[in-house]
Structure 1
Amino acid sequence: MKKKWKVFVRAVCFVARDIPAIWPLAALTAVTEAAGPYIEIFLSAAILSELASESRSMEHLFFLAVLMAGLNFLASAFSRFCGYALETLRYLLMQHLDEAVADKAWRMDYKLLGDSKVHGQKKTINNWLYDHGMVAMVIQFQTLLQALVTIGISIALTVEFFRARAQGDGGLARFLNHWSFPVLFLVLFALAILYNNWAEGKTQKRQYRFTKDMEGYSNQRTELMKACCAEYHRGKDVRVFHEQKMLLGKFERLNDTIAGLWEKASASFRRLGVSSVLVSRLFNLFVYLAVGLKAVCRAFDVGNLLKYTGMVTQLGEGVTGLFNTARAAFENIRYLEDYFAYQDMPNRTADAVRPVSSDIRDNYEFEFRHVTFTYPGAAVPSLTDVSCRFGKGEKIAVVGRNGSGKTTLIKLLCRLYDPQEGQILLNGVDIREYRYEEYLKFFSTVFQDYCIFAFTLGENVAAESEYDRKKAVRALEGAGFGPRFRTLKDGLDTQLFKNFSEDGVELSGGEGQKVAIARCLYKDAPHAMLDEPTAALDPVAEADIYQRMNQFIRGKGAIYISHRLSSCHFCSRILVFEGGKLEEQGTHEALLEARGLYYKLWHAQAKYYQEEA
């Protein structure tokens, strides 16, 4: 319970810091909405009493009617104003929570992004973010306070109701005036409230359990829908290979599973809902009977009959609302715990405090010292006991068969993962000691699975909304995108792809690679790393790109991964990987003379090109 209380207080403080006005506005809205019904109850009772009076005054009746209409209008208008303002702040809170979830995904350790459990956790939070958690907490606070105000006013009127004495000496009058009558009233009232609270609690628990049971299937369905419908570039494979039937079958099976879970849960919800409504209606029947009997025994006039009936109804709704909302608020803490568990995932890459000084940038050396790394969930290491050095000004080619560990080398260097054994050093210091954001500024990288966003061309090159336009154009020219760029009427402001604009420009695979390379050149970092940067280009275009890049990064260090061994000619050293191990390293000529693995790869590829010729 103590832990839940801490989570609740943390959430309250989070909302208060994020949107300070939301709690006072929720309180004002609650008081306004709670007081509104009593205006009508009191003034309607006064009008009815005046009508029943023998000395009734038309002027007084008119005054009461106008007063009730005016106060009702003002209360309703003010309540709506507060409600709309609160809804606006709640929507703002939703946006901020959305941003916080996305920001956490961007800041968390990269290895966690590939964890299916973490991915599912994020998807689940996104599914309920607008209906539960902190957004629901604001509504629950308003409902609780509204219920408390309603109960306070109703209790005062209930005491007045019990103190009204029935007239006459009959058994009914004596019973209504006896202490046993209010005791019976309160016992039945308590039983009705307790039952409804129990039923609501069972419903809330089953709802949460149902949500948990559903989340895996819902996430799968969302991903399947995204793959089938939202990502249009997959439509080519779906049509060419006639995958529609297979995908539809998977979708239908998921829907059947979800429908079965919902049918099972909804049957339980229906039973609890019907029984709760039945108990409430039976108690209301008793209330109307009790108030009516007191009126028959002349305990009060006909106007008060309306007032007390409305009062008891409001009291019942207030207490029911209080218990139900308190129960919902308690159950809602589970969602808050899930949210904060996600936000509290450690960002180990952010723990380092050592700065990357300008001296290091001007003269640096990286060293892999007996590095071994295994991907999470994998049984076989991707790199085993790798040791090598490279520094400023060196152009390193990394070659090897598929799955030999080439891309893993770059991922470790970028600290997307940390090795389980060994160290990666920068000027003799473990790279885990350097400030992560400063360390990443060391690299301009083009990954094999690079990403081009559906933003403008300039934003994709600069990775920013505000950027140096001349520098962006130079980077595009350096990446060989110049001829295509000059055909774009909007230049750097050209919208890429059609996700957000009907006029969006589609890029070919080779053009996309050139834009990714331009992004690397624009960053102008001390060390460039390119993983298959020209895989989608023809050999002539590839040679042109490498020549341009060498001019751009002259004097800087670079690592090139490529299956086309012809790109190794201009590199000062070549690292040859096989099965996760560094088998050979040296210059192109030295490795050919050694007649090892590189020699075999080189001649196998040369033979292919000779046959083509």
Structure 2
Amino acid sequence: MKEKNFVYKFLNNFKWLLRMAKKQRRLLTIYLPISVCLGVVTNFLGISFPSIIIFLLDRTVTLNNDFVIILSLSFILGVFLWISGWLVTKVFWESIKVRMTLQVLDGKGFINLPYFKLINVDTQKERAQSAAYGYENDNSGVGLFVPAMVLLCQNVLMLVIAGGVSAIVAWWSPIIVAITCIISFKILSYFSSQRLRIQKDLGKVYLEQNYLYRKSFDTSAGQEIRTYFLEIKFGLKIKQCRDEITVIKKKLALNSFKAKTLIVLVNFCRSIPIYLVLAQKVFHGEMSVVEFSFLFSLLGMLDVYIKEGSNNLEEFLNANNDISKSRVYLDAIERMITLDEHADNQGLPESISPDHLEIQLKNIFVKYPDQEKFILRDINLRIKPGEHIALVGLNGAGKTTLVLTIMGIIEPYSGEILVNGIPLSKSWVRSYQRLFAPAFQENVLWADTLEKNIVISESINKQKLMKIAEQVTLNKTISKLPQGMQTYLTRYIHDNGLIPSGGELQKIILGRALYRDSPFIILDEPTAALDSLTESLLYQQMENLFKGKTSLFISHRLASTKFADNIILLKDGQIEAYGSHKALLSESAEYRKIFNVQKQLYESEITNE
């Protein structure tokens, strides 16, 4: 992976953009040169137009003929302007399409990252930086690169043309134009870098001010603010931010004033000698009024081309730097996706039958890539077809990590996973993962209908869906909803969407796992948000719900383990005890201690209810 401060040459980034563009590649390669050339021609015609009118008026031709010619030229100029504007818009829209392509690449790549890399803070920062710099908006990176390049090329060409044409005035005119252009670019570049530093300071103050505003309007913080009289502190902090913003904005205004003053002086030094020679040539009859008008207009636009060209150059270089920062993450993601597409293209080996699934973990060690301590140590486990297993242990014991390892989401540091005796391979790990129907503790609801939150597929079996809703006792909730299964969940998109309670949410997630109808069910704290009665009913139904399936459920409540064939007690990343509930009560002091403590709390909870 490239260093974070590595900057690609603009030609390298341009080729990369064309490669990423795919469908837009041909359009961009055609539109870009045409857009540049047409922009230059349009600019040149616009400058020449007053001189052409003067030339026509100076001729001894009828006014009607002059009017027709002027009208025709105006129409031609208008057509050129329209085509030029259309091309600029087209290039802009093609850039947006490329930006959207990169957003899809980002999403696809991030979703498919290895689990430890996915949850890594540095990876998340890299992704956020990549998006912010590269393709999150139209004002940086990809959104700015091509439009800024087109305008920069136009202004540079116009500067070259104006400098060359100025040789008509005097042989030394192009030299003065070139020197003053370089000086102007240097001045603008210097003050631009200063402005960026000042704006960075301004951004920090704005960040703090926005945080204070968000907290002030945060209803969840209302009690704390009033109880501890924080409104006074907030008010002082906000006033302090406002004062700092005022000071920084004065610095920005002064920066702009200094830059404009110096540019005016440079322009004065360039314009005076050239304009004096122009006037002298006209006075002595060495130059016509038409020529004078044309050169005066063209040289007068030098200031505009220098200023716009400098801005375009700054935008272009910033966009190039932004894309380079973005590619640190995107190039790695693209390589990973390419490898995955080549590797994960096989189904399950023929000897692996989903109806007779046996999974074995042999000498498994798992740790975070940047840490020395192992999360799981020397795990040896065999899960037989149709077996119901409870996974228990204190917080931080490694329960979720073990489940993710069994599912092939986490790749072990060492050891191997055998599926029906065959070592799990990257070439068919995705097919293997389809054998699982998980219901994780961190439940995910989609901003869609209740029906689609359970089904998560295009084809819907209504009869099967309603049967599962009844099994997870969700049917009573559905009967109270006016739109039933078509009720939208969450209010991210639909203002009247249903926000389920904790218990309803767990039932939806459990229903989702059951509907998938995979041979291996995984439930992570399936009853954490349920009351004791509902929990008891659910466990009584488990034998019917999971009939013919292998199941593994994580639970802090050891009362649930009575319904399991075998129990895994995990402690500090190792299997402390393994066996049935009855066996562990008699053989494992650790299990017996935890069970007895929880038993008292559980009985007290039922009594209170």
TM class, shorter-chain normalised? 0.7 to 0.9
> What's 2:130 paired with?
125
CA contact (8 A) 1:386 1:582 kept: yes
Give the one of 401, 404, 410 matched to 2:397.
Answer: 404
> What's 2:327 paired with?
340
CA deviations over 1:60-117 (Å, ceiling 9, x no partner): 4323332233223323333333344444333333333333322222222232232222
> What's 2:520 paired with?
527
Give the one of 286, 302, 305 matched to 1:299.
Answer: 286
Give the one of 162, 181, 185 matched to 1:197.
Answer: 185
Give the one of 158, 163, 171 matched to 1:150.
Answer: 158
Cα deviation, residue 266, structure 1:
4.1
Give the one of 40, 48, 51 matched to 1:42.
Answer: 48
Q: Secondary structure at the match of 2:412?
A: coil
Q: What are the equivalent positions in structure 2 for 1:73-472 lying under 5 Å apart?
A: 73-128=78-133, 129=135, 130=137, 131-147=139-155, 150-151=158-159, 154=162, 157-159=165-167, 161-162=168-169, 181-183=170-172, 185-202=173-190, 237-242=220-225, 245=230, 266=252, 270=256, 271-272=258-259, 274-276=261-263, 278-280=265-267, 282-314=269-301, 317-318=304-305, 325-326=312-313, 328-345=315-332, 347=336, 350=340, 352-353=343-344, 355-357=347-349, 359-360=351-352, 361-375=354-368, 380-431=373-424, 433-464=426-457, 467-472=460-465
Q: Residue type matched to 2:178 in 1?
A: A
What is the distance in 2 between the residues matched to 1:207 and 1:74? Answer: 39
What is the distance in 1 between the residues matched to 2:277 and 2:476? Answer: 89
CA contact (8 A) 2:358 2:383 kept: yes
Q: Secondary structure at the match of 1:566?
A: helix
Cα deviation, residue 572, structure 1:
0.9
Question: 2:34 aligned with 1:28, yes or no?
Answer: yes
Cα deviation, residue 190, structure 1:
1.4
CA deviations over 1:336-369 (Å, ceiling 9, x no partner): 2222211133649937556423542233322222
Q: Secondary structure at the match of 2:379?
A: strand
- Inter-CA distance 337–42: structure 2 relative to 1 (3 Å threshold): closer
CA deviations over 1:419-447 (Å, ceiling 9, x no partner): 33433333344435343422321211111
Q: Secondary structure at the match of 2:171?
A: helix
Cα deviation, residue 285, structure 1:
4.4
Cα deviation, residue 543, structure 1:
2.6
CA contact (8 A) 2:156 2:305 kept: yes
Q: Secondary structure at the match of 1:308?
A: helix
- Inter-CA distance 551–199: structure 2 relative to 1 (3 Å threshold): farther
Cα deviation, residue 239, structure 1:
3.9
> What's 2:3 paired with?
none
CA contact (8 A) 1:49 1:301 kept: no
Q: Residue type matched to 1:47 in 2?
A: I
Q: Secondary structure at the match of 1:299?
A: coil
Q: Secondary structure at the match of 1:403?
A: coil
What is the distance in 2 between the residues matched to 1:465 and 1:277? Answer: 66
What is the distance in 2 between the residues matched to 1:118 and 1:195? Answer: 43
- Inter-CA distance 416–288: structure 2 relative to 1 (3 Å threshold): farther
- Inter-CA distance 502–465: structure 2 relative to 1 (3 Å threshold): farther
CA contact (8 A) 1:108 1:345 kept: no
Cα deviation, residue 456, structure 1:
1.9
Question: 2:569 aligned with 1:576, yes or no?
Answer: yes
Q: Residue type matched to 2:148 in 1?
A: Q
Cα deviation, residue 532, structure 1:
0.3
Q: Secondary structure at the match of 1:382?
A: strand
CA contact (8 A) 1:495 1:505 kept: yes
Question: 2:552 aligned with 1:559, yes or no?
Answer: yes
- Inter-CA distance 566–434: structure 2 relative to 1 (3 Å threshold): farther
Q: Residue type matched to 1:405 in 2?
A: G
CA contact (8 A) 1:120 1:216 kept: no
CA contact (8 A) 2:447 2:491 kept: yes
- Inter-CA distance 437–381: structure 2 relative to 1 (3 Å threshold): same
Bigger drift between 510-519 and 102-111 goes to 102-111
What is the distance in 2 between the residues matched to 1:240 and 1:272? Answer: 50
Q: How many residues align?
A: 587
Cα deviation, residue 321, structure 1:
5.3
Question: 2:508 aligned with 1:518, yes or no?
Answer: no
Q: Secondary structure at the match of 1:418?
A: coil
CA contact (8 A) 2:393 2:399 kept: yes
Structure 1 vs Structure 2 CA RMSD: 3.8
Give the one of 529, 533, 543 matched to 2:536.
Answer: 543
Cα deviation, residue 584, structure 1:
0.5
Bigger drift between 562-571 and 343-352 goes to 343-352
Q: Secondary structure at the match of 1:502?
A: coil
What is the distance in 2 between the residues matched to 1:92 and 1:606? Answer: 60
> What's 1:165 paired with?
none
CA contact (8 A) 1:150 1:314 kept: no
CA deviations over 1:222-277 (Å, ceiling 9, x no partner): 99988997xxxxx6743454499499699969968995996698479535565345
Q: Residue type matched to 1:543 in 2?
A: S
Bigger drift between 346-355 and 27-36 goes to 346-355
Cα deviation, residue 12, structure 1:
3.0
What is the distance in 2 between the residues matched to 1:456 and 1:551? Answer: 27
Q: Secondary structure at the match of 1:345?
A: helix
- Inter-CA distance 595–459: structure 2 relative to 1 (3 Å threshold): same
What is the distance in 1 between the residues matched to 2:207 and 2:514? Answer: 38
Q: Secondary structure at the match of 1:387?
A: strand
Cα deviation, residue 514, structure 1:
0.9
What is the distance in 1 between the residues matched to 2:206 and 2:349? Answer: 48
Q: Secondary structure at the match of 1:385?
A: strand
Bigger drift between 120-129 and 266-275 goes to 266-275
- For structure 1, list consecutive stretches of 5 or more residues without a partner in the other structure: 163-180, 230-234
Q: Secondary structure at the match of 1:182?
A: coil
- For structure 2, list consecutive stretches of 5 or more residues without a partner in the other structure: 1-5
- Inter-CA distance 26–7: structure 2 relative to 1 (3 Å threshold): closer
Cα deviation, residue 550, structure 1:
3.5
Q: Residue type matched to 1:390 in 2?
A: I
